[in-house]
Amino acid sequence: MKTFEKLMSIKRDRGAGYLILIDPDKIVRDKLPAFVRESTEAGADGFLVGGSLMSTGEFDNVLRMIKSNTTLPVVIFPGSLFQVSSIADAILFLILISGRNPEYLIGHQVIASPIIKNIGLEAISTGYMIIESGKTTSAEFISNTKPIPRDKPDIAVAHALAAEFIGMRFLYLDAGSGADVPIPDELVKKISKASSLPIIIGGGIRTPEDALKKVEAGASFIVTGTIIEENSYGRLVREFAETVHSRARMKV
């Protein structure tokens, strides 16, 4: 079964999925195996791996370490052309549809495509939308693009519909790592009603209650990164997973 199908089966069976974002530049390597094993046991549904910068040069090694400690899907969330590897199960083939920088709309994708094809990596076409979060995030700065205003849901809906009509398979709404505030529930709700694409939400989600609100608004997958890195992850991962799964099933 392809990774995309596995993710969709998680959404179908559990109501919504919970993914953990691992930034190779931020994770403590010695703690990574235990982090992955305990997160898997605590109920996470998969791991995203990537970051806006890559200063360690350890991308493949981090992927190997994650893969050797879990049977869950391991998916690249690329921040640059250097974040492509056959070790992962799949890559989110990101198109930065919220921006107007041609390098992130088609330039980097053209360069990466032959590599992805040659190494046999599953590519999951994803419309990536940066949403205003109260401060300038790394993704916004590196991509040299403006985020969608958080109080303009109609603009976000138009971008989501464009992604669907183009033929993308996921929408990824990102407030950015360490965002001051998460994406507004009303914005998620309007996109969910207008588009049939599964929605991934990341950035600024600090509590299981935050995650639940996004699921109730229509999110298919919740992503946390910074908040897990900064806390006792085993307990917190379980709280997030149980909230997303059990309450999501009650919703449906």
pLDDT at position 246 over 90 = no
Query: Vertex 97, ends 91 and 101: CA angle to 5°?
Result: 100
User: For every residue of 23-79, which 3-state class applies, written as one string?
Assistant: CCCCCCHHHHHHHHHHHHHHCCCEEEECCCCCCCCCHHHHHHHHHCCCCCCEEECCC
Please report the pLDDT score of residue 36 as a whole number: 95
146 phi and psi, to 5 degrees?
Answer: -90, 140
Report how far apart the first and last C-alpha atoms of the chain are (Å, whole number): 25
Per-residue model confidence as pLDDT tens digits over 149-202: 999 999 999 999 999 999 999 999 999 887 889 999 999 999 999 999 999 999
Residue 57: its pLDDT value, please? 76
CB atoms within 10 A of CB 117: 10
Q: Which residues contact 103 (CB under 8 A, 6 or more apart)?
A: none
| CB contact at 8 A, 84 and 71 | no
pTM beyond 0.75: the answer is: yes
How far is 217 from 189, CA to CA, in rounded Å?
A: 5
Average pLDDT of every residue of the chain? 93
- For 43, residues 6+ apart whose C-beta sits below 8 A from its C-beta are 18, 237, 238, 241, 242, 245
The tens digit of pLDDT for each residue in 56-67 reads: 678 999 999 999
Q: In this structure, what are the phi and psi dihedrals at residue 199, rounded to the nearest 5 degrees?
A: -110, 125
Q: What is the spatial distance between Cα 240 and Cα 211, in angstroms, rounded to a whole number?
A: 7
Lookup result for tokens 């207008």: 194
- Measured between alpha carbons, how far is 117 from 4 in angstroms, rounded to an integer? 16
Lowest mean pLDDT among 19-23, 162-166, 232-236, 238-242: 232-236
Close Cβ partners of 129 (under 8 Å, ≥ 6 residues apart): 97, 98, 148, 156, 159, 160, 171, 172, 173, 174
Q: What structural domains and CATH numbers belong to the chain?
A: 3-251 (3.20.20.390)
